[in-house]
Amino acid sequence: MPNTNHSRRGRSTFLFPAWAGKLWLWAFGWTVTGTLPNHNKYVLIGAPHTSNWDFLFMLAFAAVLRLRVSWMGKDSLFKRPFGGIMRRLGGIPIDRSRSSGMVQGIAQRFAESDRLVLLITVSGTRKKGDYWKSGFYWIAHTAQVPIVCAYLDYEKKEGGLGPTINPTGDVAADMNRIREFYTGIQGKYPELTSRVRLKEEDQPASGK
C-alpha cells in the first residue's frame, strides 16, 4: 500500500485530483506500489518511457500518492500566455542554448527550495536508445539529493516508487543498483525500451 503520510508532500498535481487518479488506475486495472521516501528534495526518475500513455499514468500515480512533482521544459513553453500555467503545473524553464550550466542551475534551485521533487524521464525519448541521459545523475550528485526510482510496468499493470539511491560519484556502482531494479520491468512497447546505461560508464576512468 502507498504511504499516506502527508507531512512531506506538496499539493496534488493540478491536472489530476487524487480521486481522479484512483478512478483512472481502477478503470485500467492498475495498482500502486511503494512508499514515499522520507526526503523533502530528490530527483525522481521515470522509466521505461516508450509511449505517450506514460505521461497520463504518471499523473495518476502522482495524484494517488499526493506527490507534487516539478519538471524541466524548454523556456519557450513559459512565455505568454501559458507561462504562468506551466509554472503552476510544476514546470521549470530551461534555456537549451546554455545547456552547460543546466546542472548547476537546477542544483541551485534545489538549494533554494524547501521542497522539490524533480521528475526526469531518463531515456529522453520514446525511441530505443543505447544510453540514458545522464543529467539526472549529475543534478542529484551536484545538489547532494537522492535519486528515487519510479516505474510503470505494463505487463503487471503496476507502478509506483522503488529504491532510493544516494549518488556517490561512482557512476558504474550506482547504475548497477538502478539497473538491478529496472530489470524485468516492461514498458508499453518493450522493443522501444532504452538500455539502462550512461555514456559515462563507457568512458575512461579519468573522464566524466
How would residue 9 be classed by pLDDT, with cut points 50, 70 and 90? very low
**Three-class SS of residue 123?**
coil
Confidence (pLDDT) at 68: 87
Give the phi and the psi of residue 124 in degrees, each rounded to 5.
75, -5
Average pLDDT over residues 12-22: 73
Give the residues across from 118 on adjacent strands: 43, 70
Position 2 scores a pLDDT of: 40
Local confidence band at 96 (pLDDT 50, 70, 90 cut-offs): low
Q: What is residue 99's predicted lDDT score, i.e. its pLDDT?
A: 55
Q: Which comes out higher in pLDDT, residue 7 or 193?
A: 193
3-state SS class at 81: coil
Backbone angles phi, psi at 48, to 5 degrees: -75, 155
Report the C-alpha gap between 199 and 197 in whole angstroms. 7
Average pLDDT score over residue span 121-125: 81
Q: Give the mean model confidence (pLDDT) for residues 68-90.
A: 77
Q: How confident is the model at residue 4 (pLDDT cuts 50, 70, 90)?
A: very low
* All cell numbers assigned to 83: 507561462
By the 8 A CB rule, do 61 and 160 touch?
A: yes
Evaluate whether 115 touches 131 at the Cβ level (below 8 Å): no
Show me where the domains of the chain are located.
Answer: 18-194
Neighbour-count burial of 5, counting CB atoms closer than 10 A to its CB (0-12 exposed, 13-18 middle, 19+ buried): exposed
Side-chain-side CA neighbours of residue 145 (13 Å): 28
